[in-house]
Structure 1
Amino acid sequence: MTRTTKTELPSHSLLHDYIQQGDFLDCYKCPTALPVDDAAQRAMAFPSWAKGLLRLRNILVAPLGLKNDFPEGKKIGPFPIDQRNQNEVILGLDDSHLNFRISILTTGTEAYCATWVHCNNRMGRIYLASIMPFHVLIVRNAVSQIWRPDIKSL
Structure 2
Amino acid sequence: MAFPVKKVCVPINSEVFKILNGSYYSDSYSFCSSKPGRVALQIWIDHASKVPSWVNFLMASRNKIVSVFGLNNIGHLGDLDANKLLCEYQVGDRVGIFTLLFLSDNEIILGDSDKHLDVNVSVHTEVGKPHVVSMSTVVHVHNFLGKLYMLFVKPMHKLIVPSSIKRAEGSDA
TM-score of the superposition, structure 2-length normalised?
0.77
Structure 1 contact 91–103 (Cα < 8 Å) conserved = yes
Kindly tell me: are residues 143 and 101 of structure 1, through their superposed partners in 2, closer, same or farther at Cα, counting changes over 3 Å? same
Does residue 64 of structure 1 match 2:65? Answer: no
Structure 1 contact 30–147 (Cα < 8 Å) conserved = no
Does residue 43 of structure 1 match 2:65? Answer: no
Q: Deviations over 1:23-52 (max 9, x none)?
A: 211000100223312211122221211111
Matches of 2:29 and 2:41, distance apart in 1: 17
Which runs of 5 or more structure 2 residues have no equivalent in the other structure? 76-91
Kindly tell me: are residues 96 and 49 of structure 1, through their superposed partners in 2, closer, same or farther at Cα, counting changes over 3 Å? same
Deviation at 1:75, TM superposition (A): 3.1
Deviation at 1:109, TM superposition (A): 2.4
TM-score of the superposition, structure 1-length normalised?
0.85
Deviation at 1:149, TM superposition (A): 7.2
Matched residue type, 2:98: F
Matches of 2:152 and 2:43, distance apart in 1: 28
Structure 2 contact 22–140 (Cα < 8 Å) conserved = no
Number of residue pairs matched by the alignment: 149
| Aligned pair partner of 2:124 in 70, 83, 105 | 105
Kindly tell me: are residues 95 and 105 of structure 1, through their superposed partners in 2, closer, same or farther at Cα, counting changes over 3 Å? same
Kindly tell me: are residues 14 and 140 of structure 1, through their superposed partners in 2, closer, same or farther at Cα, counting changes over 3 Å? same
Q: Deviations over 1:56-114 (max 9, x none)?
A: 111111121123237xx733343221221221111111111111011011121211000
Match of 1:109, SS state, is strand
Q: Superposition RMSD on alpha carbons, in Å?
A: 2.2
Matched residue type, 2:121: I
The share of aligned pairs that are identical, in percent, is 27
Kindly tell me: are residues 21 and 136 of structure 1, through their superposed partners in 2, closer, same or farther at Cα, counting changes over 3 Å? same
Matches of 1:76 and 1:149, distance apart in 2: 24
Aligned to 2:30: 29
Does residue 81 of structure 1 match 2:100? Answer: yes
Matched residue type, 1:137: L
